[in-house]
Amino acid sequence: MDIVRQMYKDKMIQKVVCFIFEAHKGQKDKAGVPYVFHPMHVASSVGEDRDYILTALLHDVLEDTDRTLEDIRNLGISKQVQEALVLLTHDPQIPYIEYIHSLKDNPICAAVKKADLRHNMDLGRLETIKEKDRKRKEKYREAYGVLTEEDVTKL
């Protein structure tokens, strides 16, 4: 999916892209790249359904910024996307793998989380790979296996 082309066609996607640029302003990913490129990448990997794209763009906002569900509601985001975003927001009190299992039955959450995990497992984005990066990838690989119910040793 060409997310930039989609922005030209869809005013809500335009609005959400502007929102995430502001919400993630000043944040960097583990490779030192502006964080906003991560949700853009995830959104480009979930197909052409608008709700999937919007969820992907917003998937880290509640967890990693000071923006609230109310802020997202005020954008005019559908209830279906809001519900997916709440599910995708990991409560640190819940074990990670239990959280992953909770996403399996929601098709939007499962698709967005799989795209998120694929991007996060791409260690080629990092200048140097440390042991903690390898461990994180292994954790994500296990999560991906839960969501796909397949052997992911080759990822």
Just list the catalytic residues.
63-64
Element (H, E) at 117: helix 107-121
| Contacts for 11 with CB less than 8 Å, ≥ 6 apart | none
Is 121:148 a contact under the CB 8 Å cutoff?
no
- The answer to whether the beta carbons of residues 59 and 83 sit under 8 Å apart is no
Cα–Cα distances in angstroms (integers) from residue 34 to residues 27, 49, 115, in the given order:
6, 25, 18
Residues contacting residue 78 through CB under 8 Å, at least 6 positions apart: 51, 54
